[in-house]
Amino acid sequence: MGAVETGRRIRATPVAVFLVAAGVSVALSASVASGPVILDGRWGILAELALWGLLWVAAVAATRRLPTRLALGMVLGAGLALRLAALAGPPVTSDDLYRYAWDARVQAAGINPYLHPPASEELAGLRESWLWPSETGCAEIDRPPGCTRINRPAAPTIYPPLAQSWFAVVAAVGPDNARHTTWQVAGLATEVGVLALLPVALGRWGGDRRWSALYALCPAPVVEIVQNGHVDGLAILLVLGALCVVAPTGRSAQAHLVSRAPSWRHFGAGALIGAAAMVKLYPAVVLPALVAVGIGRRLPVLARACAGALAVAVVAYLPHVLEVGWRVLGYLPGYLEEEDYAEGGRFLIATALGLPPVAGGALSLIAVVGVGGWVLVRRPSPPVGAAVLLGALLLATSPVQTWYGVALLAVATLAGRPWWAAVVVAAYPYYFAVILDHPHAVGLGRIAYGTALVVVVASVASSSRTLLPSTSPRRPASPGSATMG
């Protein structure tokens, strides 16, 4: 009897920790969503997110001490509550969804979204009071007369074709008077899909389904995908779908090294990653991770996956190319210049070594290519390979945008590699410093991303020591036992 009571007390402690951490996190989610925008709330918003982050760590740790079924139910319930709370107000730290709404409006008028920037006279007849407020409306949002909520109104859209299709569908399905809520609910829909898919994918890869907490309770997907309505949520769902397609069909998590997956699965997974890249371009880097499916078949597997991705890209881009030609690139060249990638200044870790910007950019590119080569040669499981590739890309390019890291968090969750969350967290102080025009923004970015790199390297080294092979006959490595990532 005493042992039973002790067991109950032991279980009650992590449950209590989880409930307190999750409850306060839900309150913080609502507080951030209903609070001032970043230019008004400034560093106070980051302080709220930091507190939420500490509670996230506590809640994830608590789930590790609970039975899987109980933990999973609590995680999914709390994850949904966090996302519903994020609907409490308009976007706080990003205005991208206003561009989504405009691109959808342009398409609804039968105009190709790549043809004209929002401020062009050709589109003046499509303007309405939400996206193009009156003088009074502009004053209410602290902007000068003649303002628009759309960022970079003089620049053409940057979003790829499947993102444009998603915008059109969301606008067609959503009510006209919902405005920002329509796009937040669209983000919520993709997040519900991710929350439902993660435990299934973890189970198929032989992982611990309790790792779902790492993604479900993190502030980043709640704020970026739901509260800010970023379309990256759709790309994440497609990437996870691709990793499910190539997941082992046997009972063992080691089956990915001994199974002969049908060719259509390679092509299908590649097509899903290609579709994700047609929403946001960066998921394309995940393709090499698929070579782990099968033994001694790197090039055929990679060729089929690339063929699937290329087929989707051609189908998505061809109608636009035929109509507008190279203008289909939209603002992409301008974005690379604006973000200082063209000159190499954005590669914060490499340039911190004292290298000139161009040399720093070249070194960063070599590093990413080298990591890709490691994945091709060593063939970790696709979830691990995807985490390594996305993590290397983000560390090398050190983007200011906080929402790019959410995809990394999703695949790191599937891989059971929590240390990659450090890269996701690193973007936040950098982003706030840039948006708030801090004089030492670059230095803060270098410290943040440099710290994340140290955390990842130290964690990988520690994990590698734990997983050193014994003198027993070598067995196929499981998805959780690759020596890198």
What is the 3 state secondary structure string of 292-338? HCCCCCHHHHHHHHHHHHHHHHHHHHHHHHHHHHHHHHCCHHHHHHH
Which of 186, 146, 194, 147 minimizes the C-alpha distance to 163?
A: 186
Q: How far apart are CA 286 and CA 271, in angstroms?
A: 12
Rounded (10°) CA dihedral 262, 267, 272, 275: -170
Examine residue 432 and state whether it is found in any structural domain, yes or no: no
CA distances, 464 to each of 79, 205, 274, 457, 480 (Å): 31, 20, 32, 10, 11
Per-residue pLDDT at 318: 96
Per-residue pLDDT at 477: 42
Average pLDDT for 188-199: 98
Do residues 83 and 145 both lie within one domain? no
Examine residue 38 and state whether it is found in any structural domain, yes or no: yes
231-290: pLDDT as tens digits: 999 999 999 999 999 988 755 444 444 345 567 788 999 999 999 999 999 999 999 998
Do residues 190 and 85 both lie within one domain? yes
Residue with tokens 């390679």: 266
Examine residue 445 and state whether it is found in any structural domain, yes or no: no
Residue with tokens 């060593």: 378
8-62: pLDDT as tens digits: 555 778 999 999 999 999 999 999 999 999 999 999 999 999 999 999 999 999 9
pLDDT greater than 90 at residue 340: no
Residue with tokens 């319930």: 77
pLDDT greater than 90 at residue 297: no
Do residues 52 and 190 both lie within one domain? yes
CA 432 to chain centre: 18
Check if the beta carbon of residue 401 is closer than 8 Å to that of residue 435.
no
Check if the beta carbon of residue 75 is closer than 8 Å to that of residue 25.
no
Do residues 192 and 173 both lie within one domain? no
Name the residue range of residue 107's domain: 96-178
Between 87 and 291, residue with greater pLDDT: 87
Per-residue pLDDT at 259: 41
Lowest mean pLDDT among 117-131, 301-315, 346-360, 460-474: 460-474
Between 161 and 10, residue with greater pLDDT: 161
Q: State the average pLDDT for the chain.
A: 89
Examine residue 25 and state whether it is found in any structural domain, yes or no: yes
Which residue type occupies 420? Answer: W
The percent of residues above 70 in pLDDT, for the chain, comes to 89
- What's the token pair of residue 33? 């969503």
Examine residue 226 and state whether it is found in any structural domain, yes or no: no
Mean pLDDT: which of 136-140, 361-365, 449-453 is highest? 449-453
Q: How far apart are CA 258 and CA 242, in angstroms?
A: 19
Q: Of all helices (H) and strands (E), which one includes residue 33?
A: helix 2-34
Per-residue pLDDT at 478: 45
Number of domains in the chain: 2
Q: How far apart are CA 395 and CA 457, in angstroms?
A: 12
Do residues 25 and 63 both lie within one domain? yes
Do residues 147 and 106 both lie within one domain? yes
Examine residue 45 and state whether it is found in any structural domain, yes or no: yes
pLDDT greater than 70 at residue 483: no
Examine residue 13 and state whether it is found in any structural domain, yes or no: yes
Exposure string of 357-376, with b = 16+ CB inside 10 Å and e = fewer, is beebbebbeebbeebbebbb
Do residues 41 and 146 both lie within one domain? no
Do residues 73 and 142 both lie within one domain? no
What angle do helix axes 180-204 and 161-173 make, rounded to 10 degrees? 120
Q: How far apart are CA 259 and CA 257, in angstroms?
A: 6
Average pLDDT for 362-370: 93
Check if the beta carbon of residue 76 is closer than 8 Å to that of residue 212.
yes
pLDDT greater than 50 at residue 471: no
Do residues 82 and 164 both lie within one domain? no
Q: How far apart are CA 76 and CA 351, in angstroms?
A: 41
pLDDT bracket for residue 176 (50, 70, 90)? confident
- What's the token pair of residue 157? 């859209």
Check if the beta carbon of residue 132 is closer than 8 Å to that of residue 343.
no
> What is the torsional sign of CA 4, 6, 7, 9?
positive
Q: How far apart are CA 389 and CA 272, in angstroms?
A: 17
Do residues 2 and 83 both lie within one domain? yes
pLDDT bracket for residue 466 (50, 70, 90)? low
344-362: pLDDT as tens digits: 678 999 988 888 888 888 9
Between 47 and 343, residue with greater pLDDT: 47
End residue of a domain, out of 153, 187, 221: 221
Do residues 78 and 129 both lie within one domain? no
What angle do helix axes 405-415 and 232-245 make, rounded to 10 degrees? 30
Examine residue 328 and state whether it is found in any structural domain, yes or no: no
Between 339 and 150, residue with greater pLDDT: 150
Q: How far apart are CA 145 and CA 132, in angstroms?
A: 10
pLDDT bracket for residue 90 (50, 70, 90)? very high
Average pLDDT for 189-202: 97
Do residues 81 and 158 both lie within one domain? no
> What is the torsional sign of CA 200, 82, 51, 72?
negative
Q: How far apart are CA 390 and CA 384, in angstroms?
A: 10
DSSP character string of 212-245:
HHHHHT-HHHIIIIIIS--THHHHHHHHHHHHHH
Q: How far apart are CA 167 and CA 165, in angstroms?
A: 5
Per-residue pLDDT at 474: 37
At residue 175, φ and ψ (nearest 5 deg) are -70, 145
Between 192 and 342, residue with greater pLDDT: 192
